[in-house]
Every structure is written in structure tokens, then in C-alpha cells.
Amino acid sequence: MPFLGGPELAKVYKKAKAEGFALIANNFTEPNVLLGLFAAYQARKSDLLVQVTGGAAKFAGGGNALAGLRALSRYVQTLAKEAKIGVFLNLDHVTPDLVEGFVPPALAEGLCSSVMIDASELPFEENVKATRAVVEMARPYGALVEGELGRIKGVEDEVASDEAFYTDPNDAVEFVDQTGVDLLAVAVGTEHGVSSGRELKLRVDLAQAIDAKLRQAGLERPLVLHGASGLSGDQVRALLRAGVCKVNKDTTYQFLYARTAAEFYLGNRASVVPAPGVAFDPVTFEAPGSQWKPDKKLFDPRVVGRKIQEAVNLVAQQMIDQVGSGGKTLYA
């Protein structure tokens, strides 16, 4: 299946909302996580949504976010051609300062299926303005736009109570109406964004209230959950019933990558790291006065890479089960 755009992604979200499942939005920066995801999603016949933050794009481009996005997106698009599932790419957490010079070419070159504009740190009216501008950019290309509403409008930073870090249902209606966003990321007590570091109670009832208000206003939208790494399976399922159709996952893969690499290299330390006092030269591949040589069967990056891919594949399949997207591909 070739890489797919906003109109096809909208169909997946529509089905997800009607049937009560969600897509995990899987962050990646490098090939091993991506290849593990492709393996998992094809095995489970789920459409695959990957996402790239501005920071990830910058990393992949050696400091140039647009170059990095081009490289990552073409990698995804090339793999997608061989896959029997729908494959989508979301630009994740694009902050207002990154829009210019990044989002317009990404849309024009077909590098993404959707864009998430994160102006949730701004006051409500400015968030609306910044989000609306991206909606207008995306429309001609059919790309979807996700906005984020993090706090009740008009609250001053220093005097904000915990209540201020939850999305107000009436604000949600006003925000969707004024911006025209296709998806809405809501703050319902996960450890994320402006609420990061606060111990908030997860409010499934609030997600339900937001969904109900949007429906009443004729503005039903898939809701998006950010900062979902610490939630239990039961909490995630309750949120899906409350209208959440996209669940962001980044931390899980970062941890799997580091843990898998750490276990592998610590377990094979003596074959990769010279003993103290042995001065091994990586250019001549010799250590004066020592017979020690590193083991190529272990230090070839593909060896640990395959283990990372397997770890990601396994856990990604568990998360597919959690959100119920397995067997639901529209694009086999």
C-alpha cells in the first residue's frame, strides 16, 4: 500500500470512533524502532500511524528539521509501499515557532498525513489563532490537523489550581468551532505538557463530558491522549469508550531501546569494551602489548539493532491489543 494521506486517515479515525478502538501514534527517530513497528503492525493487520516531532526531525537532519523530516518520511514511504496495511505519518507537537519553513514544505511535498500544532502553552485566543493558521495551510492538501487544549482560558500561571490543568468541555467546543481542527488533544490528568510534574487525577468523566458536548454541538471529533505512558489497560479502555481515538506513545519505545541495548552490551561487555589498561586503537585495530580483539559478531550495530526491533515488535503488539486496532486495517 502506498503511503497514505489525510483523507484516508480520516476514514480510519471515523471507523475507530464508531467502533471504539484507537490508533497508537508511535514516535520514532531512527530505523530500529520504525522497523519493529512495521513488523508488529503488519503481523496484527492494524493500520500504522508513526509520528515525528520537530526535535526528532532536527536530530535526523543533523540540525536541519526539514531535511530530517524528508529523510524520515521517505524511509517510511518506501517501507509503506511493501506493506499490506495503511501507513500514515503525523508531524507531532509542532510548536508555533517551528511552523514557518517546516509545515508548508512538509505539506507541499506530501511528507505527512497530518499535523499536530501545539500552541497549548499560549493563552486560549492565541492558541486558536496559531491553530487556525495551520488548519488553513493544511486544507488544500487534505492533511488533518490536531490541536491541543491544555488549560482553562484566562488562568494566570502562578495562581493556577490543579483544576486549571484540565480541559474545560465548553472551551473544547469553542476551540473546535473556531479553529476547525480535525482532532483534539485534551488534558484529562495525564502527566503531559503544561500539567507535567503535577500529580493529577485521571478524569475519564471529563473526556466523556468533552465528547458529549462536542457531539451536542455537531462538532464530534476523535479525541487524542498525550502523556499516556503511565496508564493501565483498564484506564486506556475507559478512555477509548469516552471518545479517545489516538494515543501517543514515545516514552515506551525510548525505554525499550535503551534497556535492550544496555542489557545486550552489559552482558557482552568483555567482547566489546577493552579491559582497563588495554589501549585498543580503533584505526589500526590493535592494542600494543595485548592480544585482545573486540568481537565483530557482537559489535556490528545490526546485532543489537535486531534485538531492539524484536523488543519494539513485541511491546507494540501488546499495545495494539490494548487499543483494539488489530485486524481493523482499512487498507489491506
* Residues that are catalytic: 92
Residue 25 C-beta: closest distance to Zn ion, Å: 11
Cβ atoms of 220 and 185 within 8 Å: the answer is no
Q: Is 49 exposed, middle or buried (0-12, 13-18, 19+ CB in 10 A)?
A: buried
Helix 301-323 vs helix 251-267: angle between axes, to the nearest 10 degrees? 140
Count of residues of this chain found to bind Zn ion when the rule CB under 5 A is applied? 3
Q: Does 70 bind Zn ion (CB under 5 A)?
A: no
Nearest CB to Zn ion, comparing residues 39 and 188: 188
Q: Is 151 in the site for Zn ion (CB under 5 A)?
A: no
CB < 8 Å & 24+ apart, contacts of 76-79: 76/3, 76/34, 76/50, 77/2, 77/3, 79/34, 79/35, 79/38
The letter for the amino acid at 302 is: R
Would you say 193 or 324 has its CB closer to Zn ion? 193
225 vs 242, which CB is nearer to Zn ion?
225
Question: Can you tell me the distance from the alpha carbon of 202 to that of 231, in angstroms, rounded to the nearest whole number?
Answer: 9
The site string for Zn ion over 12-41 (x = CB under 5 A, - otherwise) reads ------------------------------
Q: Which is nearer to Zn ion, 79 or 119 (CB)?
A: 119
- Least distance CB 148 / Zn ion (angstroms): 5
E-strand ranges in 37-77 read 48-53
Stretch that binds Zn ion, among 81-89, 102-110, 165-173, 221-229 (CB under 5 A): 221-229
Task: Report whether 275 contacts 254 (CB < 8 A).
Answer: no
246 binds Zn ion (CB under 5 A): no
| Cβ nearer to Zn ion, comparing 8 with 148 | 148
Q: Which stretch binds Zn ion (CB under 5 A): 49-57, 140-148, 207-215, 253-261?
A: 140-148
**How far apart, in Å, are the Cα atoms of 25 and each of 186, 206, 254?**
15, 22, 14
| Single-letter code of the amino acid located at 104 | P
Contacts with Zn ion, 182-201, as mask; x by CB under 5 A: -----------x--------
Q: Which residues lie below 8 Å from residue 57, measured CB to CB, with a gap of 6+?
A: 65, 66, 68, 69, 72, 102
* Binding window for Zn ion (CB under 5 A); candidates: 18-26, 52-60, 79-87, 142-150: 142-150
Residue number with the smallest Cβ distance to Zn ion: 226
Residue type, 296: K
Among 226, 237, 249, 328, binds Zn ion (CB under 5 A): 226
Say how many residues make up the chain: 332
Q: Given the rule CB under 5 A, which residues bind Zn ion?
A: 148, 193, 226
